[in-house]
Amino acid sequence: MAVELVWESQETLQVIYTGEVTGQQAVDSLLAIGSDPRFDQLRFILGNGATITKNIASDTDIEKMTSVAKALSKTNPGIKNAVVMGSNEAAQALVNFYQFLAEDIEWQVDTFTTEADARAWLASFT
């Protein structure tokens, strides 16, 4: 599976992107997050793209993701979203995409090179 949702607690979700990730998979993962009954209690999202090998997203996919993310952020605006980027070009593309989304959503988003740094940033809000 290219996108896996791992609920670590009622308040913390890790979204793991592996291998080749399509734009539709990313859209579907956002829809799954928003429709999960735990979404209202969600405070922290750790987007882990360290092992992405290819990011395939069309302009239409990006527009869909932006729309879904905007709607979700209005429903639960207090989410802190840490994004771990990998060193390859595909992972960097994912991070750039998250930064693009961060301009239009109410969540606080920051990027990191390691999972440990991302988790430390998230922990600073507890």
pLDDT of residue 5: 97
Question: Is residue 47 predicted with pLDDT exceeding 80?
Answer: yes
Q: How far apart are CA 66 and CA 72, in angstroms?
A: 10
Structure tokens at 59: 């302009």
Mean pLDDT of the chain: 86
Nearest to 79 by CA among 66, 70, 88, 87: 70
In terms of C-beta density within 10 A (0-12 exposed, 13-18 middle, 19 or more buried), how is residue 77 classed?
Answer: exposed
Beta strands in 57-122 (DSSP E): 80-85, 108-112
pLDDT of residue 101: 66
pLDDT of residue 119: 97
Question: Is residue 1 predicted with pLDDT exceeding 60?
Answer: no
Assess contact for 78 and 115: CB atoms under 8 A: no
pLDDT of residue 91: 62
